[in-house]
């Protein structure tokens, strides 16, 4: 009995084989990325590259798959890696505990990837990843803002040029256009951002509000797109 026998009923044995031979990099293992990682592991992706420099904090408990009281203070990459092996011991997992930025980007060879998922929340890092994937011809989907949102049914994937409402999309559209890059696929929401009832201060900044049911849905949508494409079931 294969752990992917139910999946094979939908993607076929050949699809399962294809997925086992693929390499996917997930940048950011927070509310979105942790669910991307989990769904890719359960979807049979054979090689995962996980990138995050953060440790699990109490404020992560309401929305991040890696966050439990038993994992507080642990590296998100290590928690995610352990979950992947507990799901599929045959998987290969590489972890990078780093901030992905222009001055550190060379540490990761994107050319080995069949797909890249960007779940980072820093514009500079998102742009660097988009530019490098475009240059290499590596498929990439970038997650836009899921903070201050309450309607997971408003999430969708499209080219960045077709987005609206989302403040992060506006910045990314402008910066990508300035770099001569078009057609970057993003997951975004057409829901107008909610205004937080109060502001919190965290490391000198005001984090957005976030709930248990928007970032995880975004992660599942992203992983679903990746699995379908790599199994040869979606354009």
The rounded radius of gyration (Å) of the Cα atoms in the chain is 17
Number of independent structural domains in the chain: 1
The token pair that represents 231 in the structure block: 């199994």
Q: Report pTM.
A: 0.97
Residue 235 lies in a domain: no
The range of the structural domain enclosing residue 202 comes to 5-230
Q: What are the CA-CA distances from residue 155 to residues 92, 149, 207 (Å)?
A: 30, 10, 21
**Assigned domain for 99 exists:** yes
From first to last of its 235 residues, what are the pLDDT tens digits of the chain? Answer: 689 999 999 999 999 999 999 999 999 999 999 999 999 999 999 999 999 999 999 999 999 999 999 999 999 999 999 999 999 999 999 999 999 999 999 999 999 999 999 999 999 999 999 999 999 999 999 999 999 999 999 999 999 999 999 999 999 999 999 999 999 999 999 999 999 999 887 777 789 999 999 999 999 999 999 999 999 997 5
The verdict on residue 57 lying in a domain is: yes
Structure tokens at 134: 């475009």
The answer as to whether 163 is a domain residue is yes
Among candidates 220, 211, 173, which has minimal Cα distance to 191? 211
| Residue 124 placed within a domain | yes
Domain CATH number, residue 126: 3.40.50.720
97: nearest Cα among 55, 35, 47: 55
């Amino acid at each position: 009995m294969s752990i992917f026998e139910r999946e094979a009923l939908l993607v076929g044995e050949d699809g399962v084989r294809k997925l086992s031979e693929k390499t996917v990099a997930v940048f950011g293992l927070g509310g979105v990325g942790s669910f991307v990682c989990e769904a890719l592991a359960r979807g049979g992706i054979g090689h995962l590259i996980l990138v995050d420099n953060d440790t699990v904090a109490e404020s992560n408990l309401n929305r991040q798959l890696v966050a439990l009281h038993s994992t507080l203070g642990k590296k998100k990459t290590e928690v995610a890696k352990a979950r992947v092996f507990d799901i599929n011991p045959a998987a290969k997992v590489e972890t990078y505990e780093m901030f992905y930025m222009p001055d550190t980007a060379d540490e990761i060879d994107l050319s080995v990837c069949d797909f890249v998922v960007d779940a980072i929340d820093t514009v500079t890092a998102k742009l660097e990843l988009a530019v490098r994937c475009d240059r290499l011809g590596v498929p990439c989907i970038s997650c836009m803002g899921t903070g201050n949102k309450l309607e997971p049914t408003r999430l969708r994937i499209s080219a960045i040029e077709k987005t609206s409402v989302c403040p992060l999309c506006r910045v990314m559209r402008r910066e990508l256009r300035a770099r001569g890059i078009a057609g970057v696929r993003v997951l975004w929401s057409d829901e107008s951002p909610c205004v937080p009832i109060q502001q919190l201060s965290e490391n000198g900044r005001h984090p957005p509000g976030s709930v248990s049911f928007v970032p995880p849905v975004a992660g599942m949508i992203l992983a679903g797109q990746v699995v379908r494409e790599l199994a040869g079931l979606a354009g």
